[in-house]
Structure 1
Amino acid sequence: MPVKNALYRLFVNHLMMKGGQTALGETADFVILQAPPEREAAYPIPKQLAKALKEAKLTSSFAALTQARKKGILRYLNAIKTEETMQRNIEKLLEQLKNKEKNVRIPVGRKV
């Protein structure tokens, strides 16, 4: 922490002293690095969804959704394990896009 206009003071615990090969009352040099930001997971568009959007001519409607909305939908679809569930949810999504609903989400009635 800064001490007026002087150098910074770093409070060091025993583990840091051992790693820095120093002892109480001695001066030590440390390099402090900032952790890189966590990367967000990418959720690819499932092949079934891409095909269904293209056939229904709703690709642009899906692309017009907000980034957060698309991410939620894709996260949900990528977690689905059965083909039947995938198809059912794609149909629900297509229906909402056809009706130009403002609050498009799957599963319907629940937050994604």
Structure 2
Amino acid sequence: MFGAVRKAWRSLVGTVGVPENGGRDGHAHNLFEAAAAYVTAYAEDDQERLDEAAGWVSPEALSFGVNELACRAVVALAREHRRPPQDVARALLGLPAAS
């Protein structure tokens, strides 16, 4: 099963495009750099940086990267607070605890 996931991951990463001119500093950005910059800009309400990060990779790749960032953040917070990931995710979204 994990072999299939790794194969799909390699396929996705291999097909994720970056604009030919790369990022603003001339190097190509990967989907995780784009996701981190996008989420940070969104949290800081910086529309210019948000638009820039959104242009680094395809919308599909950005969506995947943001989702991966969210998952990793929930897991890290759950470990830090010794709580189940579901409780942390619900708390971050302002939802009541699951019964």
Q: Above 0.5 in TM-score? A: no
Specify which structure has the higher proportion of helix: 2
TM-score normalised by L of structure 2? 0.24
Larger-Rg structure? 1
TM-score normalised by L of structure 1? 0.22
Q: Which of the pair has the greater relative contact order for Cα pairs under 8 Å at 6+ separation? A: 2
